[in-house]
Amino acid sequence: MATFNVRHCRGLDDRVDPSRTAAVIEATGASIVALQELDRSVPRSGSVDQVSLLEDRLGMQMHFCPTLGIGSGEYGIALAGPSLVAVERERLPGAELDPEPRWAVWARSEGTTYLCTHLSTHRGAKRLQLNALAGIARKLSPPLVVLGDLNQTGRCLGPLRAAGLRGDGRRHLTHSAAWPRHQIDWILVRGGRIARAWTLATHASDHRPLAATLEV
């Protein structure tokens, strides 16, 4: 499994290249992928439907959750995999502090629930969203995996830890991609164990993807 903030497939060279993004996702070897900052028919990224393009290139079913309208297009998060079922989504709080809507989307695959999200950069909104995310997690049956760009370091993840979610106990620097200094992208598990986690060096986005193997 992997999580990757793709920055609408815009690399550090300022070039929008969904094929390059797809190649990075393929290099993780993941069968379940959480993606953030995808564009669908947005002019800034050439009005390309990045969701359909990545779906075709990766051979994965893409469950796209649009969070924001941009011009005639949409921007949002997605959960991708070959056999995801019972897809649900929920809007997270914090709209009064951050005008960008934030959502969580989750689905089951082979008995495990995978939840994708992208939290705010605003401190107060993040706090509300973390608590809401922990509340969702408590209602979902394990094994449960939370994947996404949480926009904060490990010391701020108390509500998720209180809900029983754990990483592998190591720091995996994901931001920024060229000279990563922080981990703000996370894979957290309840009802299983992360056997191994790693990042991939890339210039395809301003984040590095985080990948992991799960033991249930």
The b-or-e profile of 140-157 (16+ CB within 10 A means b, else e) is bebbbbbbbbbbbebeeb
Angle subtended by helix axes 18-28 and 50-58, to nearest 10: 40
How many residues are there in the chain? Answer: 216
Which residue carries 């193997």 as its tokens? 213
**Residue 71: Cβ-neighbour burial (10 angstroms; 0-12, 13-18, 19+):** exposed
pLDDT in tens, 65-110: 999 999 999 999 999 998 899 999 999 999 999 999 999 999 999 9
Q: What are phi and psi of 99, to 5 degrees?
A: -70, -15
- 172-198 average pLDDT score: 97
- 57-63 average pLDDT score: 95
pLDDT in tens, 124-141: 999 999 999 999 999 999
Which residue carries 């947005």 as its tokens? 42
